[in-house]
Amino acid sequence: MKKSLSQRLAILSDAAKYDASCASSGSGRRDSARSGGLGSTTGNGICHAFTPDGRCISLLKILLTNFCVYDCAYCINRSSSNVERARFTPEEVVWLTLEFYRRNCIEGLFLSSGIIRSSDHTMEQLVQVARDLRLKHGFRGYIHLKTIPDASPRLLEEAGRYADRLSINVEMPTVAGLEQYAPQKKAGGIRQAMGEMRLKIDAGRERSHTGRRAERFSPGGQSTQMIVGADAASDQDILASSANLYGSYGLRRVYYSAFSPIPDASALLPAKSPPLQREHRLYQADWLFRFYGFAFGELTAGRADGMLDLELDPKLAWALDNRALFPVDLNRASKEMLLRVPGLGIKAVAAILRARRHQAVRLEDLARLNVSIRKVRPFVQTPGWSPARLTDRHDLRSLFSPAPQQMSLL
């Protein structure tokens, strides 16, 4: 018996949820005021709901089909799994996207697919959905497409024309990990595809000498995902891999997805609870790299096992390892140095820089900027406050560590 649309929606959204990427940002502003159609993008993205796993729902994240010829150990849709299989027609995906969008449930579509028949066949189906949304229905919301490795350049070009963001998952932080868990995927092919996309994305941003825009290609750039905790890679390995991905392919985001148990799991990967705290620390490190001027190497330099501190956030851990650089004079230090003070965020630093041009900033002023005085105290000095020996106290770490907890017996 053919499954109903609702049943297939359940299967194909369940199959897509292990992809962490959900952003609807990075594509600039666009709306339907002149076209009279449907949809807009705000540049920053909007989350329309949150599920109890703490993740947001921004895009309708579904697979076209969860049939797949690959057998990647970590994946719920691998060919050896007994999950229920289903598929949507491109028309059904278009209809679902538009109806959810009209009710303001989503920002757009994140469409991926299991590999069926060939790369080109799969990619062609994804592109058809995007093409219909854009050309037939005048849809101007966000579209994120997964790129299938080895698909033909013509399809990639067309995908880039309609999509706001393209992505292809490296899946494992190391080549060895990928070979072990995803024998059909080739790290080289994935990198080549990313390189090709980078060149096209860069070319799409350029203007000719007459000021004419080049043809649109994925204005929201490209992103990727790595699975954390499935293989033996350390945080250092993972972050080194990220550094290379950001540097080589100009990625907008690298997503870290804590390996999560799946139904009918492969024997290679026994079910254990996902390392959520580790994933969180990796995201923090990523943030420090993208916005705070840290190099990934700095964050793991002080760690013997190459793992980020699970108890303290990476910025605080780095500051405790580099106390010689503190305390920082809030009224004199450079922006770069202020960004390295634990407890000061991008906005607080901008506010301090503005205020100190006109009057000296004091410790108590920081409370008005939504800064935790307790956290910054040992690392800054201002008129009226000097941490004196506090910065050098050997038990400084314990002032920040979470209270010890009784181990659970069970």
Partner 1 sequence: MTRYVLMLEDSAAFEPWREMARAALQRAIPPEALDWRIRGGETDLFGQITDDGAGLEALTALPVAKTVTLRASCIALLRDLLCHSDPGRFALAYRIAWRVQSNPHLLEVTTDADIARARIMVRQNREDCHKMASFLRFREDPVQQCERRRFLAWFEPQHHILERIAPFFSKRFTDMDWMILTPRGSIRWDGKELVCSPEPCEQPELDDGFGELWDTYYASTFNPARVRTKAMRREMPGRYWKNLPETRLIPQLVAGAEARVRTMAEQELRPAPAFHERLRAREQRPAGPPLPDMAETLDVLARQIRICTACPLHCPATQAVVGEGPPDARIMIVGEQPGDQEDLAGRPFVGPAGQFLHEALAMAGIDRGTLYLTNAVKHFRFRLQGRRRIHQNPDAGHVVACRPWLEQEIALIRPKLIVSLGATALRALDGPGMAMSDVRGTSWTVGTGENTVRRLALAHPSWLLRLGKGTQGNSERRRFVEGLARVQDVPSPWEA
Among positions 75-94, residues that touch partner 1 (CB under 8 A) are 79-82
Closer residue to partner 1 in complex, CB, 101/379 = 101
Closer residue to partner 1 in complex, CB, 209/358 = 358
3 binds partner 1, rule: CB under 8 A = no
Q: Closest distance between partner 1 and the C-beta of residue 76, in Å?
A: 10
Cβ distance 295 to 289 under 8 Å? yes
Q: Closest distance between partner 1 and the C-beta of residue 363, in Å?
A: 11
351 binds partner 1, rule: CB under 8 A = yes
Beta sheet of 165-167, edge-to-edge order:
59-63, 108-112, 142-146, 165-167, 222-228, 253-258
Q: Closest distance between partner 1 and the C-beta of residue 345, in Å?
A: 13
331 binds partner 1, rule: CB under 8 A = no
The alpha carbons of the chain give a radius of gyration, in whole angstroms, of 24
Site string for partner 1, 279-298 (x = CB under 8 A): --------------x-x---
Q: Closest distance between partner 1 and the C-beta of residue 305, in Å?
A: 22
Compute the distance between CA of residue 406 and CA of residue 323 in angstroms, rounded to an integer: 31
Binding piece for partner 1, criterion CB under 8 A, among 224-232, 306-314, 349-357, 401-409 = 349-357
Out of 355, 373, 390, 396, the residue judged to bind partner 1 by CB under 8 A: 355
Compute the distance between CA of residue 318 and CA of residue 272 in angstroms, rounded to an integer: 30
Q: Closest distance between partner 1 and the C-beta of residue 367, in Å?
A: 9
Out of 16, 168, 333, 376, the residue judged to bind partner 1 by CB under 8 A: 16
Closer residue to partner 1 in complex, CB, 40/386 = 40
Nearest CA-CA partner of 259 in 308, 237, 281, 226? 226
Q: How many residues bind partner 1 (CB under 8 A)?
A: 93
Direct distance between the N- and C-terminal alpha carbons of the chain, in angstroms, rounded to an integer: 45
Closer residue to partner 1 in complex, CB, 41/391 = 41
Binding piece for partner 1, criterion CB under 8 A, among 254-262, 302-310, 316-324, 384-392 = 254-262
Binding piece for partner 1, criterion CB under 8 A, among 101-109, 153-161, 221-229, 308-316 = 101-109
Closer residue to partner 1 in complex, CB, 104/208 = 104
Out of 28, 43, 91, 99, the residue judged to bind partner 1 by CB under 8 A: 99
Closer residue to partner 1 in complex, CB, 30/161 = 30
Nearest CA-CA partner of 113 in 127, 92, 96? 127
Q: Give how far Cα 200 sits from Cα of 124, 169, 171, 204, 333, Å.
A: 19, 18, 23, 6, 40
DSSP readout, 156-195?
A: HHHHHHH-SEEE---BSSSHHHHHHH-TT--HHHHHHHHH
Backbone angles phi, psi at 15, to 5 degrees: -75, -20
Please, what's the largest Cα pairwise distance for the chain?
Answer: 77
Interface with partner 1 in residues 159-188 (CB under 8 A): 175, 184, 188
Q: What is the DSSP letter of 378?
A: G
Q: What is the DSSP letter of 390?
A: G
Region for residue 116 given its phi and psi (left: phi exceeds 0; alpha: psi -120 to 50; beta: otherwise): beta
Binding piece for partner 1, criterion CB under 8 A, among 37-45, 127-135, 231-239, 400-408 = 37-45
Site string for partner 1, 356-385 (x = CB under 8 A): -xxx-xx--xx-xxx---------------
Helix (H, G, I), strand (E, B) or coil at 263: coil
Nearest CA-CA partner of 23 in 160, 167, 156, 134? 167
Q: Closest distance between partner 1 and the C-beta of residue 84, in Å?
A: 11
Cβ distance 51 to 57 under 8 Å? yes
Q: Which residues pair with 99 in a beta bridge?
A: none
Vertex 175 angle, CA 225 and 21, to 5°: 5
Closer residue to partner 1 in complex, CB, 200/315 = 200
Structure tokens given for 176: 């060895």
Q: Closest distance between partner 1 and the C-beta of residue 387, in Å?
A: 20
Q: Closest distance between partner 1 and the C-beta of residue 389, in Å?
A: 27
